[in-house]
Structures are given as structure tokens and as C-alpha cells.
Amino acid sequence: MKASEQRLVLVLIILVAVFATGFTAMRMLGWQRTLDKKARSVVMRTNETKQLLTEAPMWEERLAWLRTAQPQMTSVNKANNDLDQSLVETAKNNNVTIENKQLQEPAETSYFHQVGETVVVKTEVKQLFQWLHALQTPESFTLVSHLTIQPVPEDTTKVTATVHVSRLFSLTKTPAENTVESTKTP
């Protein structure tokens, strides 16, 4: 082999080594980035878990309140009547005129029974929001799931609102059936 051929082979070997080193370095940097992402994810999950554990007593207290305060549904008709009476009474107390009412289909989720009613009301904006505020106390387990407000063209001080109001009732399950207490380890 001539000296020029040997230099050419040596340069070729050096180029292959440089490219191999560069390729290996890029792969290692990619692995490092992946490991860093996984480490950050683990740290974030650990912090979230610690935060949830510090909040556990508060959530257990809220669950105990729910068990004692949330009403039981004896019948769908009675629940609908109670909701309707509540809507009429609070509307009257807040100077809200109910123009139309329509019952919603009762629903059951894995956590509660729900009955609802869609009402169309006509009133001033301030009175509407006072009425909505009066409806949605925690003790009543009543919520507004949808609200549409439109101005009344004839009277600019009033609005017409379509309100979907629902009331939630307990499923009457035993505590072991609807809590995480059954998964606690000693």
C-alpha cells in the first residue's frame, strides 16, 4: 500500500469514527432528554400526590358532610314536585316571573340521582342573579347546568332567561360502595 493510500484509509477511518461518535452522542443526548422528561414527570406526580395527601382530611370531611346532608330520593314525582315548589317559592321571593316550565328526564350517575326542570323566566338582570344565587345554596343540592339570557326588546330593563335547574340526590349506597376507604391499606 502506498503512503497516499494509507493516509486515505486513515482519513476514512477517522471520518467513520467521528460520525460514529457524533451519532452515538446524539443518541445519548436523546436518551438523556427522555430520562429528564421522565424524572420531571415523576417529581410532578410525587408533588401532586403529596398535595392530595395533605388535602385528604378536608375531602374526608366533605364526604362525611355529603353523606349526612345530601337528601335521599324517595320518588321521582316527589323530587320533581319539591324542586318545582322550590323554584316557584324562590322566584316569588326574588320578583322573578316564571313564564314556562318543563320537566327534564331524571338521570342517575354512579354518584347521584338527578331531577331537573327547564324554566323560562322574565325579570331584571339583578333580580335574576339574586334568584340564581338563592337557588344554588350548598344545602339545597340545586345547580344551574345551563343558562341563556336574552334582552326583552319591548323593555330594556328586563331579560328573558332559559334556565336548566337540577337537584342532586344521594344514591343511598353503603360507604364501602362509594368511597376509596375500601382501598386503604393498614
**Annotation: CATH topology of 76-170:** Alpha-Beta Plaits (3.30.70)
| pLDDT tens by residue, the chain, 186 residues | 788 888 888 889 999 999 999 999 999 999 999 999 999 999 999 999 999 999 999 999 998 998 889 888 888 999 999 999 999 999 999 999 999 999 999 998 888 899 999 999 999 999 999 999 999 988 999 999 999 999 989 988 899 999 999 999 988 654 444 444 444 433
Instruction: Give the pairing of strands 158-170 and 112-124.
Output: antiparallel
Angle at 169 between CA 164 and CA 170, to 5 degrees: 150
CA 91 to chain centroid: 29
Global pTM reads: 0.64
